[in-house]
């Protein structure tokens, strides 16, 4: 099996290379309005942002920044297939603008934007991020009443375009893309605690901070939850390519856009170890499932493996490992071709053959 992955340097507010209704899944983490790290990016595209911040008008700056994201949400509504899902990881911001400290509710503004475009909000996920800070609050310290709650979570907002997606009865891609029962119970909870992956798949030192802010495990879960093998996944704010990396691991096609093409070079380092990392992840997934079933009675025999599964829908599950990654160039940009091999039988280990 082969998947393709295309990177485009450009503005996702104009994704002319994508046809209407051609993308089943969007997974992205945009720049967060009112986070100082992104001020220059928003101000470069609209000088009124800088003027509003300088004038101490946080509400105006907040809306001007979101207006830039709105143009991308317009394109997502256009390219998303009927029944397709959009997953948006975003955090709220806390900031003093002028003399006033306040929270800027990015997640609420994004929900309103997608609702305005006719998409249906689905139950969202709170991603609780680990923090190493000893300062758990701001303001007056231990004296009431002027301390502030510290934000230690972000939102994974989920939206669907139209009704649920349909498949032919017994569709192979859908049944082979099943997840295990215990994975379902963890992934479809509304509270996730996910840490970054450290050195593995995180890229060079200069870009590790940015890539670790959106660990591979987040888009990998979302891709497995809301797409089937061979689907195409879009990330309009591709950054260092974390969603694309997850799509490779999950045997899905992908396409990404970003204004800063230099960030894409981080992906070259990240894909170099992808076959070995893929084998490790598959081996861990199989071992975890065997452990979950060890003390469980009943269930069904899996078609291709020596373990039982909880539901009939899991019986045809089939995992794929990354066998090879090759860079490719096209007239529209650069990208990768990834070969995948099915993991059949019961002698699979994390160590590659030979």
pLDDT recorded at residue 208: 39
Cα dihedral 136/88/8/209 (nearest 10) = 10
DSSP for 291-343? HHHTT----EE-SSSSSEESSGGGTT--EEEEEEEEEEEETTEEEEEEEEEEE
Residues written for the chain = 354
Lookup result for tokens 């990998």: 220
* CB proximity list for 270: less than 8 A, separation 6 or greater: 201, 202, 203, 211, 240, 241, 245
Lookup result for tokens 């990396």: 245
pTM of the model: 0.93
Angstrom distance (rounded) from CA 192 to CA 186:
8
Angstrom distance (rounded) from CA 167 to CA 350:
33
Burial class (CB in 10 A: 0-12, 13-18, 19+), 329: exposed
The two structure tokens encoding residue 158: 């989920």
The vertex-106 CA angle with 235 and 119, nearest 5°, equals 60
The two structure tokens encoding residue 117: 């475009």
Angstrom distance (rounded) from CA 109 to CA 157:
11
pLDDT recorded at residue 204: 47
Angstrom distance (rounded) from CA 98 to CA 53:
8
Provide the CATH topology of domain 2-133+146-343: Rossmann fold (3.40.50)
DSSP for 233-285? EEESS-TTTHHHHHHHHTT-EEEEEES-GGGGHHHHHHHHTHHHHHHHHHHHH
Ramachandran sector of residue 227 (left: φ over 0; alpha: ψ -120 to 50; beta: rest): beta
CB 257 within 8 A of CB 15: yes
The two structure tokens encoding residue 69: 């994201």
Give Cα 162 distance to the centre of its chain.
21
pLDDT in tens, the chain (354 residues): 999 999 999 999 999 999 999 999 999 999 999 999 999 999 999 999 999 999 999 999 999 999 999 999 999 999 999 999 999 999 999 999 988 899 999 999 999 999 999 999 999 999 998 665 555 555 656 788 888 888 889 999 999 999 999 999 999 999 999 999 999 999 999 999 987 654 455 554 444 344 447 899 999 999 999 999 999 999 999 999 999 999 999 999 999 999 998 888 888 888 999 999 999 999 999 999 999 999 999 999 999 999 999 999 999 999 999 999 999 876 667 899 999 999 987 777 766 654
Closest CA to 92 of 38, 154, 140, 41: 154
The two structure tokens encoding residue 305: 């493996």
């Amino acid at each position: 099996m082969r998947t393709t992955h295309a990177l485009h340097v450009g503005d996702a507010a104009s994704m002319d290379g994508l046809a209407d209704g051609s993308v089943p899944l969007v997974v992205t983490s945009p720049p967060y309005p009112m986070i100082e790290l992104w001020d220059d990016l928003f101000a470069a595209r609209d000088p009124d942002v800088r003027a509003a911040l300088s004038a101490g008008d946080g509400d105006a700056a907040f809306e001007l920044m979101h207006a830039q994201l709105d143009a991308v949400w317009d394109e997502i509504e256009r390219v998303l297939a009927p029944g397709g899902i959009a997953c948006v990881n975003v955090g709220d911001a806390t900031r003093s603008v002028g003399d006033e400290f306040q929270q800027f509710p990015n997640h609420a503004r994004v929900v309103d934007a997608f609702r305005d475009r006719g998409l249906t909000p689905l139950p969202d996920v709170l991603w609780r991020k680990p923090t190493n800070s000893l300062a758990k609050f701001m303001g007056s310290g231990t004296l009431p009443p002027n301390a502030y709650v510290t934000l230690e979570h972000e939102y994974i907002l989920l939206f669907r375009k139209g009704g649920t997606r349909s498949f032919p009865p017994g569709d192979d891609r859908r049944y082979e893309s099943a997840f295990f029962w215990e994975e379902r119970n963890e992934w479809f909870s509304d509270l996730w605690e996910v840490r970054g992956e450290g050195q593995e798949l995180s890229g060079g030192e200069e870009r590790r901070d940015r890539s670790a802010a959106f660990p591979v495990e987040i888009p990998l879960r979302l891709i497995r939850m809301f797409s089937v093998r061979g689907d195409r996944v879009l990330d309009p704010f591709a950054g260092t390519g974390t969603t694309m990396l997850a799509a490779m691991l999950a045997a899905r096609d992908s396409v990404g856009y970003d204004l800063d093409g230099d960030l894409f070079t981080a992906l070259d380092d990240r894909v170099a170890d992808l076959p070995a990392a893929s084998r490790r992840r598959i081996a861990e997934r199989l071992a975890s499932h065997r452990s979950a079933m060890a003390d469980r009675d009943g269930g069904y025999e899996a078609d291709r493996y020596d373990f039982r599964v909880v539901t009939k829908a899991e019986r045809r599950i089939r995992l794929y490992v990354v066998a090879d990654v090759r860079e490719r160039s096209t007239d529209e940009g650069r990208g990768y071709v990834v070969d995948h091999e099915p993991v059949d039988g019961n002698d699979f280990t994390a160590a590659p053959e030979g």
